[in-house]
């Protein structure tokens, strides 16, 4: 640890700082220290909020049914000194994800080639409520993990995008993908949470909050084309996409935002895909079945720009490139966002863990930075030097 336990003086006036991070299956245990060092070096003593949009820890299916095993995982997380520093320094808000209630359980039931596994999703939720002193939110409200949080300059809305998610695909005994979007209707991800989301947006409008951050543990922006293989395999990540499988509900949220006149305040934070990413979309496809149908625009949402910021570990691919051949999407110009991103597997770097630091100040544009939260000890590209934790790839103003 660079320094001893910090007792940072907090300024309760004016600007504030919010970090958006993703823990990537609990494998990265040094990101909280990198975050605190970056905060102290660049922003302290401003009020601090941290929103984590990935998995808090990794549970196997057996552990998800064992209260003692869940308690052990929570105690392991709380044993990280930097996590305790984050709790001391400000507000730490965690949104659970699929590994938090069963191993790689991308849907409400496990629907990949590994078979369908029924689990008790309320058990890990209830244990977390008892054992964790934060956030100041009951994570089992209405039987799911939705929450919202209001800061001085913003409102963060986090629906539960996992535990009530309908299965979208299964793999047959022969290994073929069987798409359940075959004309029988659209699956539900949020269900009755749509009413709750509308209520939160109405509260934000009435309170005239300056910025609305919408948390989705799945990709919010859809692909430009229809995926040819929406199960495990070459495009296994698309089963975690609101824009592919839960497009109707995603579009309903966008219509709420547009109807309430909140377009200029609405930004999406996502996680879990192990792919740091910045992108923007201003046209939206109408709901369609995944196979054998070309996408068309949703006329009710024509020309409605939305930014999505995805935090996470680079893994084998990353969309925040730092090589001459593949510049970052931001550096390439977000006005040119319609250009397709490089194909999966063609990335020139694999950064350990990238988060976003947001500086909010009343009446001024957002300032956002892409921050490396864990030191890189390896160079992945000739000429690319290892980076220290806290390294900023860029800092930009966002209107």
Asked if residues 396 and 334 have their Cβ atoms less than 8 Å apart, the reply is no
82, 105, 157 from 196: Cα distances, Å = 34, 24, 10
Burial of 4 (0-12, 13-18, 19+ CB in 10 A): exposed
Closest CA to 343 of 324, 323, 322, 326: 326
How far is residue 219's CA from residue 127's CA, in Å, rounded to a whole number?
28
- Given this model, what pLDDT does residue 201 score? 98
89, 198, 200, 346 from 301: Cα distances, Å = 40, 17, 20, 32
Q: Which two tokens stand for residue 149?
A: 């949080």
- Given this model, what pLDDT does residue 71 score? 94
Q: Which two tokens stand for residue 275?
A: 């792919």
- In three-state secondary structure terms, 38 is helix
Establish whether the linkage from the previous residue to 399 is cis, with ω within 30° of 0: no
- Domain residue ranges of the chain, discontinuous segments joined by +: 16-398
How far is residue 49's CA from residue 21's CA, in Å, rounded to a whole number?
11
Under 8 Å CB-to-CB from 221, ≥6 apart: which residues? 243, 268, 279, 281, 306, 308
For residue 21, the cross-strand partners are: 52
Dihedral, 273, 376, 213, 158 alpha carbons, nearest 10: 50
Angle at 23 between CA 18 and CA 28, to 5 degrees: 120
CB-side neighbour CA atoms (13 Å) of 302: 4
How far is residue 95's CA from residue 270's CA, in Å, rounded to a whole number?
11
How far is residue 192's CA from residue 263's CA, in Å, rounded to a whole number?
23
What top-level class would CATH report for the domain 16-398? alpha beta
- Given this model, what pLDDT does residue 351 score? 66
- Given this model, what pLDDT does residue 278 score? 78
Number of H helices, E strands in the chain: 7, 14
Query: What is the block-wise mean pLDDT of the chain (399 residues), using blocks of 10 residues?
Result: 55 84 69 92 92 85 89 89 84 85 62 54 84 67 85 93 67 46 61 94 96 90 54 45 78 95 94 72 72 70 85 61 41 37 46 87 89 74 69 80
Burial of 340 (0-12, 13-18, 19+ CB in 10 A): exposed
Under 8 Å CB-to-CB from 334, ≥6 apart: which residues? 278, 279, 280, 307
How far is residue 331's CA from residue 99's CA, in Å, rounded to a whole number?
33
- Given this model, what pLDDT does residue 135 score? 57
Q: Which two tokens stand for residue 262?
A: 């909140």
**Helices 31-42 and 81-89, packing angle to 10 deg:** 40
């Amino acid at each position: 640890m660079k320094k001893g336990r910090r007792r940072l003086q907090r300024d309760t006036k004016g600007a504030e700082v919010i970090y958006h991070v993703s823990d990537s299956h609990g494998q990265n245990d040094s990101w909280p220290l990198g975050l605190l060092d970056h905060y102290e070096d660049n922003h302290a003593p401003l009020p601090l909020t941290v929103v984590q949009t990935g998995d808090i820890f990794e549970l196997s299916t057996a552990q998800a049914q064992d209260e003692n095993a869940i308690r052990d995982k929570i105690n392991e997380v709380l044993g990280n000194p930097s996590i305790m520093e984050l709790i001391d320094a400000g507000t730490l808000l965690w949104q659970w994800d699929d590994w938090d209630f069963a191993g790689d359980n991308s849907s409400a039931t496990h629907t990949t080639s590994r078979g369908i596994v029924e689990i008790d999703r309320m058990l890990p939720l209830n244990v977390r409520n008892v054992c964790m002193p934060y956030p100041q939110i009951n994570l089992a409200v209405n039987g799911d993990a939705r929450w919202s949080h209001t800061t001085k300059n913003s409102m963060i809305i986090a629906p539960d995008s996992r535990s009530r998610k309908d299965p979208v695909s299964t793999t047959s005994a022969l290994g073929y993908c069987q798409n359940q979007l075959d004309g029988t209707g659209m699956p539900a991800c949020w269900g009755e949470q749509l009413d709750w989301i509308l209520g939160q947006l109405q509260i934000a409008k009435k309170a005239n909050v300056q910025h609305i951050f919408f948390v989705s543990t799945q990709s919010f922006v859809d692909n430009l084309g229809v995926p040819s293989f929406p199960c495990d395999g070459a495009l296994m990540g698309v089963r975690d996409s609101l824009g592919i499988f839960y497009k109707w509900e995603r579009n309903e949220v966008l219509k709420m935002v547009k109807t309430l006149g909140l377009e200029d305040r609405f930004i999406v934070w996502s996680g879990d895909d192990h792919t740091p990413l910045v992108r923007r979309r201003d046209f939206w496809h109408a709901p369609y079945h995944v196979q054998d149908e070309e996408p068309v625009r949703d006329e009710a949402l024509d020309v409605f720009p939305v930014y999505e910021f995805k935090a996470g570990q680079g893994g084998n691919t990353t969309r925040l490139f730092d090589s001459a051949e593949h510049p970052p999407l931001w550096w390439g110009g977000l006005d040119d966002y319609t250009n397709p991103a490089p194909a999966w597997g063609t990335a020139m770097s694999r950064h350990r863990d990238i988060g976003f630091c947001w500086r909010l100040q009343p009446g001024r544009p957002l300032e956002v930075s892409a921050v490396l939260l864990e030191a890189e000890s390896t160079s992945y590209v000739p000429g690319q030097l290892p980076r220290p934790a806290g390294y900023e790839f860029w800092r930009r103003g966002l209107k």
